[in-house]
Structure 1
Amino acid sequence: MFGFFSRKSKEASEKKSQAAEDKRGVLVPLIVVPRSKIEQGDGEAFHLVFAVMQFVVTIVSKGLYRHSEINPKAMEVFHADQYSLEVKNGGHSQFIHNAGSEIHTMIANARAGLSACGAKGQLATLEKMSAWIAKHPDEAAKQTGFEGGRDDFLDALDDAFYEADDAMPMEDLLARWIASWPDLQIVDDDNYDDAIDRLVLSNPQREARLFHDSVGKLVRQMLSQREVGAGLACATISPSEIKLGFGMARMLDIEGEKQMVFQLRTDAEELRLCASTKTHVAVYEYVAPEDPPVMRPGDNPLGANAPRVGTLLGRAEQSEIETAIQLSEQNHAPVAVDLLLRKAGFDPLGAIVSANSVAQTAEGPVVNWVVLASDRTFLSLSSPNGSVLLCGEDYEKLAEATMLELGAHFDRSAAAR
């Protein structure tokens, strides 16, 4: 008898301990919104929902808080509204594609938010989508939101979602729920920025995460097949160009075959298009869409106002791309760019890196990277013996780092997650 109560007491204690641990994990318990979003005279619900969305984006992007450290209700609204926005923009197919590896977390949060606010119709479509993903994982992985990457079942769910949202708009329900939160902190508009800044600076992990995120952004640019391939392809254009960043993607026709094509910004004045395949990455001229768009017989409305793929400008073969990525991993190239810029006195956080070439030298293979940071252009050389940062027409050496230094910098970055 006493043993039973003792065991029960222990279980209750464990639950209490777990609850306390969960509470400690939330570093941002209050959700801060400007007073004007509550008192908008037009009665539009989206003002309040947008305020919560904006709060989450700011706290994550500037404060570097993780989603699990933010009041869960804010994340539930965030993902519920994101679900709605994605479906309205490109359907359930687009939502699945854009969610990627975060799909299950997003569905769980959206489910909680839709349940709490009473959006029964939209919750039903979410649940059907979730069940379809579980039953058809291979098909789910093929979804793009564009022609050729849309499942008929998901298109039918889009119609059901619109019908539910017409009957009872999700934003109205979310706004009503948000307004009832006891942990909603309403501040005067003049004080809003200061309130957010205090939250941003109060994150005890922010400085360490700034360091980790700086290296992480470089890793994404320097170890991605599409990113590295686009840089190498741009370097083959005459005159050579520097890859800056990717824009929206569409399924476009390339030599009679539909391919996923991304808008690409380079240091040239014109936009480019980039296609990444299993054998190569290619950069093409961007042919602007007709204005106004012309719908031809048999055209898909989703393809209206789409650009066309023009002349091939540059191309990088998969073998060269793989070599550059492999060498970059071995030689800690992303960490090198971060450390070299810091040594030279420049901020690495917003650096843009474009692969330029792989060269054979007496010291072994060297990967050359064009680095844009602090409104200046640098050249980073990554080799088996270390890395150097050069600048100017005469390639003045600004900083260098040995492999021992790079290994230590890598360890510090990994520990700062």
Structure 2
Amino acid sequence: MFQKLFARLRPASSGRHSSQQSGSRRLDSIVVPRSAIEALEDEPHRLVAAVVDYVNHLVSGGLYSRNDIPQEAIQLYHCDYYFAQVMDGGHSQFVGNSLANLDFILSDVSKGLRAAGAGEYRKIFDDMRRWVSRHPRKAQKLTGFEGGIAPEMEALDARFFELEDSSDLTTYLAQWIAALPALEVVDDDAITEIMAELTAPMDAADDLAVTRDIARISLQLSDPTHLGFGLAAASRMPPEAMVQLGGASSMKISEGREDYAFLVRTIVDTRFGVQSAKGFELFERIEGGSADAAARRKPAEGNELSLEGVLDFKAPEVGKRIAYVPRKLVDIAALVAERYRAAAAVDLMLRRLPRTPEVDYVSVRSVGKGDTGKLGMTLLIVTDKANRAFCAAVEADGARLLSEPDHDVLITATRAEIAAHAEKFAEEESDED
């Protein structure tokens, strides 16, 4: 889901982990905790997860370019993404969820599998890649859900699962990464400080910082998962602005229904989100556990938990459905956001405030024809660690930034100004197989 952010450099703040190249500072190291290396033989997935976390942190926290992170880390990230997608919904789901950045992802996975020496897996992957190349229209219709599964992809799934029964792709990936000269192993208690240094805030006037911020907003207004759950939360009455999208795990949704549920944090509460070919659903999150549950949710109090409380722990459950938006509406919202350059509009207006706030999340409140009869969209903007909020109206002739909850007009931007801002800080992406 972070491919759109791999666009331009977000330089590191620590010279220890970067070097000057072509006017920009690129990271030389892949930093992982020592415990992941020590567990390599018995738990190879821990090293793979550590690298994935490293990339996620740099991209979502500091918004580095894919070209400024060691390419092996990017390749492993997408190899693990390929593995997870196939294990969840097969090759059809992998292709369907990767369409927006398919060329990048296919190239990264191919290079990663080759470097890891996972030859048999690469044969399956190459067969899939050839099919996608020969049948681009069919590939566009793949989703992994009923009606979006190609029989050729199912045949590849069978080969993949049979291979995984006798082999282990995660082990290949972990052993490859463990042997890289670029791997930097640090004590576990040093990881947090190092990551904070690498993603420290930049000067707001830095051109690359502006590009980075627009890219982050663009992801939230284009990636179907981010956009869909944000739109679902905002459809609530009163609207719930989305603050963070977490990971997904398989959960019981209702009697006879099990699916992958994402953690969706809004300004009101933490929810569960489920996506399908039809649309995006938001559910209540019901806390489980004993009387110690509240304490367990506060890491600082972890040492005060009772043994009985830990033994009585019950995982959170999916509650009743509280919101739903159809996928078609999400697709329309993405098109409108792209056409009207909503991400650049939001960034431009926020920078015209006396103090530029730090954006947490931008989600779509509504899309359609407004009071003027013109097509447009309304956005909810959460900033400064959920301590401040704005509303934005983006239409064909320009945009307005409004205060919350009074909706007083704070800033306006014309279409020409938005276009100039978008072009000045346009993303630059390049990749070679």
Q: Same fold (TM over 0.5)?
A: yes
Residue aligning to 1:349? 359
Say whether the 8 Å CA contact 2:33–2:50 is kept in structure 1: yes
Q: Quick one: structure 1 residues 52 and 203, their matched pair in 2 at CA, closer, same or farther if it must change by over 3 Å?
A: farther
Provide the secondary structure at the position in 2 that maps to 1:143: coil
Distance 1:416 1:61 in 2: 18
* Aligned AA (1:391): S
Q: Quick one: structure 1 residues 159 and 376, their matched pair in 2 at CA, closer, same or farther if it must change by over 3 Å?
A: same
1:337 to 339, 343, 346: 346
Is residue 325 of structure 2 the alignment partner of residue 325 of structure 1?
Answer: no
Say whether the 8 Å CA contact 1:34–1:51 is kept in structure 2: yes
**Cα offset for 1:348?**
5.1
Residue aligning to 2:44? 45
**Cα offset for 1:405?**
5.2
Say whether the 8 Å CA contact 1:90–1:145 is kept in structure 2: yes
Say whether the 8 Å CA contact 1:263–1:273 is kept in structure 2: no
Q: Quick one: structure 1 residues 27 and 158, their matched pair in 2 at CA, closer, same or farther if it must change by over 3 Å?
A: same
**Cα offset for 1:53?**
2.0
Q: Quick one: structure 1 residues 276 and 388, their matched pair in 2 at CA, closer, same or farther if it must change by over 3 Å?
A: farther
Cα-to-partner distance string for 1:317-360 (whole Å, 9 max, x where unaligned): 98xx79x939x956x65444333333053525224243446444
Unaligned runs of at least 5 residues, structure 2:
1-19, 249-261, 286-317
Say whether the 8 Å CA contact 1:241–1:266 is kept in structure 2: no
Residue aligning to 1:391? 403
Say whether the 8 Å CA contact 1:208–1:416 is kept in structure 2: no
Q: Quick one: structure 1 residues 107 and 391, their matched pair in 2 at CA, closer, same or farther if it must change by over 3 Å?
A: closer
Say whether the 8 Å CA contact 1:368–1:381 is kept in structure 2: yes
Count residues with an aligned counterpart: 358
**Identity over aligned pairs, percent:** 28
Distance 1:283 1:180 in 2: 41
**Cα offset for 1:107?**
2.6
Provide the secondary structure at the position in 2 that maps to 1:27: strand
Residue aligning to 1:137? 136
Distance 1:183 1:316 in 2: 42
What does 1:67-106 align with in structure 2 at a 5 Å threshold? 67-106=66-105
Residue aligning to 2:162? 163
Distance 2:426 2:194 in 1: 31
Residue aligning to 1:191? 190
Q: Quick one: structure 1 residues 184 and 23, their matched pair in 2 at CA, closer, same or farther if it must change by over 3 Å?
A: farther
Is residue 425 of structure 2 the alignment partner of residue 413 of structure 1?
Answer: yes
Distance 1:35 1:134 in 2: 41
Say whether the 8 Å CA contact 1:241–1:268 is kept in structure 2: no
* Aligned AA (1:33): V
Distance 1:283 1:176 in 2: 38
**Cα offset for 1:23?**
9.2
Say whether the 8 Å CA contact 1:46–1:175 is kept in structure 2: yes
What does 1:287-302 align with in structure 2 at a 5 Å threshold? none
**Cα offset for 1:125?**
1.0
Say whether the 8 Å CA contact 1:265–1:272 is kept in structure 2: no
**Cα offset for 1:144?**
0.7
What does 1:15-414 align with in structure 2 at a 5 Å threshold? 27-40=26-39, 43-201=42-200, 207-219=206-218, 241=239, 244=242, 325=336, 329=339, 334-342=343-351, 343=353, 345=355, 347=357, 349-356=359-366, 358-360=369-371, 369-374=379-384, 375-382=387-394, 387-392=399-404, 394-401=406-413, 406=418, 408-414=420-426
Provide the secondary structure at the position in 2 that maps to 1:354: strand
Q: Quick one: structure 1 residues 150 and 180, their matched pair in 2 at CA, closer, same or farther if it must change by over 3 Å?
A: same
Q: Quick one: structure 1 residues 340 and 312, their matched pair in 2 at CA, closer, same or farther if it must change by over 3 Å?
A: closer
Q: Quick one: structure 1 residues 108 and 24, their matched pair in 2 at CA, closer, same or farther if it must change by over 3 Å?
A: farther
Structure 1 range deviating more: 190-199 or 216-225: 216-225
Q: Quick one: structure 1 residues 205 and 108, their matched pair in 2 at CA, closer, same or farther if it must change by over 3 Å?
A: farther
Q: Quick one: structure 1 residues 150 and 25, their matched pair in 2 at CA, closer, same or farther if it must change by over 3 Å?
A: farther
| TM norm structure 1 | 0.65
Could you say which structure has the larger radius of gyration? 1
Provide the secondary structure at the position in 1 that maps to 2:392: strand
